[in-house]
Structure 1
Amino acid sequence: MSGPMSGVRVLEVAQWTFVPAAGAVLADWGADVIKIEHPVTGDSQRGLRQLGHVAIEGNRNPVMEHANRGKRSVALDISTPDGHELLMDIARTSDVFLTNFLPDARRRLRIDVDDLRSVNPSVIYARGSAYGPLGSDAGTGGYDMTGFWSRAGGALGSTPSDLDGVVPQPGPAYGDSIGGMTIAGGISAALFERERTGHARVVDISLLGVGVWANGVAINAALVSGQPWVTNPSGANVTPNNPLVGFYRTSDGRFLGLSMLQGYRFFGEFCRRVGVADLAADERFASHELLAANAPEAIAVLREVIGAHPLEHWRKALDGFDGQWAPVQNTVEVAADPQVRANGNVVNVEQDGETFDLAASPVLFDETPLALSPMPEFAANTEELILELGGDWDRVMALKESGTIA
């Protein structure tokens, strides 16, 4: 696959989504990503048949496709002497080693930094973890629900202040996907430095760190004020001092999301668009300061008028409006959104003469949507890689007979 990472080989020893998602992004960008899977169990997510309320039927596996498209699968037991030897053979030809194995497992399997550097001193060694490589929790595992969402403040920061409970992540592998893109960015920076200076870095990204960054403005506010971020109460809430920031319910139970931080600038035209031009002429809203001071009165009027018509009415009424707004969409609508399609955020993938659609990583190069390849079948590339490395069929058969490869 062509792309800015063409010619880069990534050796991935990882499972689940957080770190494999980084490999998927690099594959999207043209890297040759070799995914190592255990010859008996494979990646644990290959058997996942339920995502929340969605039952996974047929050959499609959304979570595996999301994190593993475009890779090559090599089924290899790296705990055996022969398996470790083959892994090191692959490492010698690799630019990046990518893993989310915990420190004890890395030492036991002899895949830690020193092990890889002993055969390839210039390899970029990238680790994804729950809580980072330093501190008392460095050896503790976790998922995005724990490290990214719960511990980094996202869960409480997204939970309405009057809700008896905690809001979950918006969807499966939400923090993992953001984290995977972050890892890919870190690897790209390390490759750039190595190209310029010859120095190879160890790159670390944690779900906790990604969550802190994603929630960084609210955390910075806490550092200044000493107060935790408190979200508005549930419902169609609007910012108390700006009627054009927040959510308004439509007559069909849908929502408009407004984010006009320069509220006064857009207030007059917005009022005309929604059919209450006289509101903009009201002396209570005659300046930025007055609009902020009397926002609750404007909000009450806008709630009533917006609530009188369905979402489709407001799509048409606000078409071409310069203020910042969006319909609040569900995932089916997002997948069909013409703007999403136009920018290659969902693209067509071909496999075995059939096609299906898949969410793409969000970076465009030269305004060209990415061309994605499907995820590999389990162990599909094991033999071909051994032959690429200079092995022969005798070695392939010996490794099969010993159970080292599938």
Structure 2
Amino acid sequence: MQRPLEGIRILEVAQYTFVPAAAAVLADWGADITKVEHAVNGDAQRGLVRVLGYDANRPGSSFAPIMEGPNRSKRSIGIDLANPESRTVLTELVRRSDVFLTNYLPGLRTKLGLTLEEIRAINPDIIYVTGSGFGSEGPDANSGSFDATGFWARGGSADGLMPPDTEHMAFMPAGAYGDNIGGMTIAGGIAAAIAGRERTGEPSVVDVSLLGVGAWATQFTVNLALFTGGPLPKVRKKSAAAGNPLTGSYRTSDNRWLQFSMLQPTKFWNEFVTALGLEHLAGDSRFQTMESITEHSEEITGWFADAIASRPYDEWTAVLTNLSGPWAPVQNSWELGHDESLVANGRIVEVTDADGVPQKLVANPVKFDNSPVQMTRAPQFAEHTDDILRELGFDDERLIELKIAGAVT
């Protein structure tokens, strides 16, 4: 059961990351994904050369992480959906699919004949899934969004990170941050819809919005604001438990950071202060209760900060390895990609790119039956057009006719 969606066919008519990331997760889970790209331009994300100030690819390499992450293990077919000649191809793709997945806006879906009614007329049993900016209902149903707007800004995460006197809005920590979280959410919705159809025989219509995902991610403060009757006051957040110096972040001597989250300070006090080289505080009668620790928290925090600032990051990660209380090093992207726990659990997977060069990608976080993820590189633009058309029953003569008509690439 390590590939529980083996045999499920997903037709993806989408671009960028939000919805394609969902299909990438489903591919990790065993589904067969056919990605429809514009016959001339392909997925618009293929044209991005810089993201958040970083180069999106490297000269001389076919491997572009911005495309590989949300599109691994798929096949690509180039179709001009606006060309009437392509309709027979789309019809056959829809007819054989279990799920139709798109992030095209309602107006474009209508123009291209991709509405629920038109897709269901071809395949009444298909699960129809949209990834939207602001939901399928309401005043913004026809408005587009990227995760920076719908998820991050409007969805509450940006405001939650900004201190009261900030001069700059906090931006997302990584490209496609909300898109990847949203894609995982869509994948879960599709899996539920597949289970529901198997149980009841009824196919679902599924919509997941970036705004909805943003509100879900920030639901603690949203729910609290609704409960208290107004916006929450701006506070400087150094930890989840004010007054507890065994929570929060501390800087090392080489300007790296360590995060601690020991919400039961008396339980971990002696072990923690000993690890920090403050053995004289172990068993100190002044700090045996939560109340006394809170009363002296500012002074204690200073002691802890001075101790941690006396040694570099690498020394501390070695010293604290066996600490029983919850803590973590603040890792950068390179360190995360080599994290021993991620690697041991098969969440960093090696694939071979189109040039035959080994590359690595992050797998989705769900593991089935303790089995490794089976993953291949993302397709080149329209790489599988001929293969897919032949599978659909089109002979070489018809294939050439479709290409001459500009219906497929």
Name the CA distance, whole Å, in 1 between partners of 2:18 and 2:112. 21
- Contact 1:274-1:305 within 8 A present in 2 as well: yes
Displacement of 1:336 in angstroms is 1.4
Displacement of 1:360 in angstroms is 1.1
Q: Which residue of 2 aligns with 1:290?
A: 292
Q: Which residue of 2 aligns with 1:85?
A: 88
Q: How does 1:233-244 map to 2 (within 5 A)?
A: 233=236, 239-244=241-246
Structure 2, gaps ≥5 residues long: none
Name the CA distance, whole Å, in 2 between partners of 1:382 and 1:116. 21
Name the CA distance, whole Å, in 2 between partners of 1:349 and 1:310. 35
- Higher mean alpha-carbon deviation, 258-267 vs 149-158, is at 258-267
Q: Which residue of 1 aligns with 2:5?
A: 5
* Cα root mean square deviation, aligned: 1.7
Write out the 4+ residue segments of structure 1 that deviate beyond 4 Å after TM superposition. Answer: 229-232, 236-239
- Higher mean alpha-carbon deviation, 345-354 vs 38-47, is at 345-354
Name the CA distance, whole Å, in 2 between partners of 1:3 and 1:341. 20
Describe the superposition over 1:176-219 as per-residue Cα deviations: whole angstroms up to 9, x where unpaired: 00000000000000000101110100001000000111111121
Q: How does 1:97-246 map to 2 (within 5 A)?
A: 97-229=100-232, 233=236, 239-246=241-248
Displacement of 1:239 in angstroms is 4.4
Q: Which residue of 2 aligns with 1:302?
A: 304
SS of the residue aligned with 2:393?
coil
- Higher mean alpha-carbon deviation, 156-165 vs 146-155, is at 156-165
SS of the residue aligned with 2:187?
helix
Name the CA distance, whole Å, in 1 between partners of 2:222 and 2:87. 43
Q: Which residue of 2 aligns with 1:51?
A: 51
Displacement of 1:227 in angstroms is 4.8
Displacement of 1:237 in angstroms is 6.4
Size of the alignment, in residue pairs?
405
Describe the superposition over 1:219-248 as per-residue Cα deviations: whole angstroms up to 9, x where unpaired: 1121222354566548x7684311111100
The letter for the 1-side match of 2:253 is: S
Describe the superposition over 1:230-275 as per-residue Cα deviations: whole angstroms up to 9, x where unpaired: 66548x7684311111100111100000111222211221011111
Q: Which residue of 1 aligns with 2:391?
A: 388
Structure possessing the higher relative contact order (Cα contacts under 8 Å, 6 or more residues apart): 2
**For 2:321, which of 308, 311, 319 is the aligned residue?**
319
TM-score where L is the length of structure 1: 0.96
- Contact 1:157-1:230 within 8 A present in 2 as well: no
TM-score where L is the length of structure 2: 0.95
- Contact 2:241-2:263 within 8 A present in 1 as well: no
Q: Which residue of 1 aligns with 2:72?
A: 69
- Contact 2:22-2:184 within 8 A present in 1 as well: yes
- Contact 1:244-1:258 within 8 A present in 2 as well: yes
- Contact 1:10-1:34 within 8 A present in 2 as well: yes
- Contact 1:32-1:71 within 8 A present in 2 as well: yes
- Higher mean alpha-carbon deviation, 46-55 vs 123-132, is at 46-55
Distance change >3 Å, CA 36–CA 285, structure 1 → 2? same
The letter for the 2-side match of 1:52 is: L
Describe the superposition over 1:284-306 as per-residue Cα deviations: whole angstroms up to 9, x where unpaired: 32212222232222111111111
Name the CA distance, whole Å, in 2 between partners of 1:392 and 1:238. 63
- Higher mean alpha-carbon deviation, 17-26 vs 279-288, is at 279-288
Name the CA distance, whole Å, in 1 between partners of 2:395 and 2:361. 37
Distance change >3 Å, CA 231–CA 171, structure 1 → 2? farther
The letter for the 2-side match of 1:267 is: W
Distance change >3 Å, CA 237–CA 220, structure 1 → 2? closer
Q: Which residue of 1 aligns with 2:344?
A: 342
Displacement of 1:329 in angstroms is 0.7
The letter for the 1-side match of 2:111 is: R
Name the CA distance, whole Å, in 2 between partners of 1:85 and 1:229. 55
The letter for the 1-side match of 2:345 is: N
Q: Which residue of 1 aligns with 2:35?
A: 35
Name the CA distance, whole Å, in 2 between partners of 1:266 and 1:220. 31
SS of the residue aligned with 2:118?
helix
The letter for the 2-side match of 1:40 is: V
